Amino acid sequence: MWIGDVGQGAWEEIDRVAAGSLGGLNFGWNIAEGNHCFNSRSCDLSPFVPAVAEYDHHAGDCAVIGGFVYRGPAFPSLQGVYFYADECTGRLWSLTPDATGAWTSTELLNTHINISSFGEDQAHELYVTGLNDGTVYRLAAAE
């Protein structure tokens, strides 16, 4: 299960719960915001499950929009890639595992759309919606 967790004011995070987990995981709120101490310069983060990805608000970002894992047939190289975005800037990222099991986040696109949600169709192709105009956009390869 993927969790797009909107932060308090400085960090946005993506958390992941693996299949077969017994649940009850603690991602650290209100001691941690993302993988950082909240309201103090030092704290013990060791009891908490770390975020697999995070980003700060330095570029005007403000609220992570959790997405979907791509399972569509149009782009075989993207199978299993998780997509997420930021509502305020419209930046769109992919999240992929590496050989060690760590996750690599890559900014793919700055849409300038206030992305409010992700969805998928019957073929598992991905879409995003624009908050301000309600438009639905299909994710496609750049031409």
pLDDT, tens only, 8-47: 999 999 999 999 999 999 999 999 999 999 988 889 999 9
Strand-pairing partners, residue 55, are 12
Selection from 58, 61, 54, 63 nearest residue 89 by Cα: 61
pLDDT, tens only, 63-116: 999 999 999 999 999 999 999 999 999 999 999 988 898 999 999 999 989 999
| Rounded average pLDDT over 122-130 | 96
The DSSP annotation for 15-71 comes to EE--TT--S-----TTTEETTEESSSS----TTSPPPSEEEESTTS---EEEEEE--
Position 142 pLDDT exceeds 80: no
Selection from 131, 102, 101 nearest residue 114 by Cα: 131
What's the half-sphere exposure (Cβ side, CA atoms, 13 Å) at 104? 7
Residue 41: predicted pLDDT? 83
List of domains in the chain: 2-138 (2.120.10.30)
Residue 143: predicted pLDDT? 60
Q: What is the band of 121 on the pLDDT scale with cuts at 50, 70, 90?
A: very high
